[in-house]
Amino acid sequence: MNTQLRGTSLREDDIRTGKALVTEWHPKIDYQFDAGTAVGQFLDGLKAGKIMGRQCDVCGRIVIPPRMFCEKCFRRNDRWVELKHTGRINTFSVSFVNWDASRRTTPQVPAVIDIDGTNPSMGILHLLGEVGQTLEEVLRRVRIGMAVEAVWKPAEQREGAITDIMYFRPVGG
C-alpha cells in the first residue's frame, strides 16, 4: 500500500491569478468582559476617585484588590471600606522596555504599592512617577518602604479603570 500522499504544490502566482481557490473570512468576535461584583465596584470607586477594599468583621482583614469572600474565614466579607490614597513601596523595578518590547530612553518604574489601611498589608501593581528621569536618579530616590500617594486623572477623564490613578509619587512631591 502506498502511504505517500500526492498533490500539486501551489505557487504564489497560482493564488494571485485565481488558479487556486482562496477565500477570506473575517469572523465577528465581539465580546464583553464582566468584572464581577467585587472588581466592578472597585472600578466604580476608582471612577469616583476612591480606592475601595472589602472587610471581614470576623478576622479583621481588609483586602485589596477586593474579594467578596474571606480566604481566611471562608465566609462572605461584610462591608466595603474606603481606603487611603497613600501607601508604601513593597517592591519595585526599573524598566527601559515598553509593553511592546520597544526601548525607552527614560525609565519606567512599576511597583507594588501596599495601600495604607489594608490588613494584612496588601498591594496593587502600579507605576511610580516623579521619581527621576535617569536610572541614577530613580535609584537615589526610590526605596522599599517609602511612602507614596496616588496622583489621579481629573474627574472628567476617569473611566473606571486602574489607570484612573495615573501613578503614585513620593509623599511630599
pLDDT at 35: 78
Whether 8 maps to a domain, the answer reads no
pLDDT at 25: 86
Whether 57 maps to a domain, the answer reads yes
Asked if 116 contacts 88 with a C-beta cutoff of 8 angstroms, the reply is yes
Tens-digit pLDDT profile for residues 54-85: 999 999 999 998 999 998 999 999 999 999 99
Whether 97 maps to a domain, the answer reads yes
User: Mean pLDDT, the chain, as a whole number?
Assistant: 91
Q: Is the pLDDT of residue 105 over 90?
A: yes
Whether 14 maps to a domain, the answer reads no
Strands of the 62-63 sheet, one edge to the other: 62-63, 51-55, 79-83
Tens-digit pLDDT profile for residues 25-56: 888 888 777 778 888 999 999 999 999 999 99
Q: Is the pLDDT of residue 2 over 80?
A: no
Cα angle: 54, vertex 166, 34; to 5 degrees: 50
- Of the candidates 113, 112, 122, the one whose C-alpha atom is nearest the C-alpha of residue 56 is 122
pLDDT at 1: 59
Asked if 51 contacts 77 with a C-beta cutoff of 8 angstroms, the reply is no
| The model's pTM | 0.78
As for how many domains the chain has, the answer is 1
